[in-house]
Amino acid sequence: MEEKDIKKEEQEVNTDDMAVETPTDEVTEEQTDAKVEEAEEETDPLKAAEAQIADLKDKLLRQMAEFDNYRKRTLKERSELILNGGEKTITALLPVIDDMERAIANGEKTDDPQVLREGMQLIYQKLMKALEAQGVSKIETEDADFDTSLHEAVALVPGMGDDKKGKVIDCMAPGYKLNDKVIRYAKVAVGQ
């Protein structure tokens, strides 16, 4: 009988402990609502997937709009560059045109051919300096070896001897490079 009494007392103590624990475990309504929502979200993957899809759609639309703006901006810059690309070169050549106009006006006043020749040489030098400032350079052909990347052979000259074989003999039209790119090949006669 004593064992039964001890067991009853233990059960009573255990129930008393439970009663003590219950007041500290009280849960507010907000906490239960949040737990219910979390449980619903965890149990409803469709809503989570829809939210993720909506987020990805928004990001995609923003990226597409940003790329479209970039494309339009680069097209506009490219068209402006094409339209106004030669502005720098033309601006550099305007002083040469002014000198030519003055030479023409002074040529009517004087009959001295030496003065006209000197004026033309000065204008030519100024033009070449303006072109060099823009990156244009003349291809040297005097005593040069024939090079197909720089020269265009318009004539072959036979009987020039072994020392002139494969060399540029005469230049019919000078060639020019723009920043190391050939824009006109030099037309030359080559020894054979």
pLDDT of residue 72: 96
Same structural domain, 118 and 162? no
Comparing CA positions, the residue from 177, 181, 89, 182 lying closest to residue 127 is 89
Q: In the predicted model, what is the mean pLDDT of residues 125-148?
A: 89
Same structural domain, 125 and 155? no
Same structural domain, 102 and 126? yes
CATH number of the CATH domain containing 163: 2.30.22.10
Burial class of residue 175 (count of CB atoms within 10 Å of its CB; 0-12, 13-18, 19+):
buried
pLDDT digits (tens, 9 = 90+) for 157-185: 887 777 788 888 888 999 999 988 999 99
Q: What is the pTM of this model?
A: 0.55
pLDDT of residue 23: 46
Same structural domain, 126 and 149? no
Residue 28 within any structural domain of the chain:
no
Residue 163 within any structural domain of the chain:
yes
pLDDT of residue 102: 86
Same structural domain, 161 and 191? yes
Domain boundary among 97, 113, 134: 134
**pLDDT level of residue 34 (50, 70, 90 thresholds):** low
Residue 102 within any structural domain of the chain:
yes
**pLDDT level of residue 114 (50, 70, 90 thresholds):** confident
Same structural domain, 172 and 141? yes
Q: Does the structure show a pLDDT above 80 at 7?
A: no
Domain boundary among 134, 158, 174: 134
The more confidently predicted of residues 43 and 135 is 135
The Cα-based distances of 191 to 22, 153, 161 in angstroms read 113, 10, 8
Q: Does the structure show a pLDDT above 90 at 63?
A: yes
Same structural domain, 116 and 142? no
pLDDT of residue 19: 46
Same structural domain, 124 and 144? no
Same structural domain, 88 and 116? yes
**pLDDT level of residue 109 (50, 70, 90 thresholds):** confident
- Name the pairing type of β-strands 168-173 and 151-157: unpaired
Same structural domain, 90 and 117? yes
Name the domain count of the chain: 2
Residue 113 within any structural domain of the chain:
yes
pLDDT of residue 43: 62
Residue 16 within any structural domain of the chain:
no
Contacts 24+ apart (CB under 8 A), 151-155: 151/175, 151/185, 151/186, 151/187, 151/188, 151/190, 152/185, 152/186, 152/187, 152/188, 153/188, 153/189, 153/190, 154/187, 154/188, 154/189, 155/189, 155/190
Q: In the predicted model, what is the mean pLDDT of residues 110-116?
A: 82
**pLDDT level of residue 92 (50, 70, 90 thresholds):** confident
pLDDT of residue 161: 76
115 is in which domain, residue-wise? 84-134
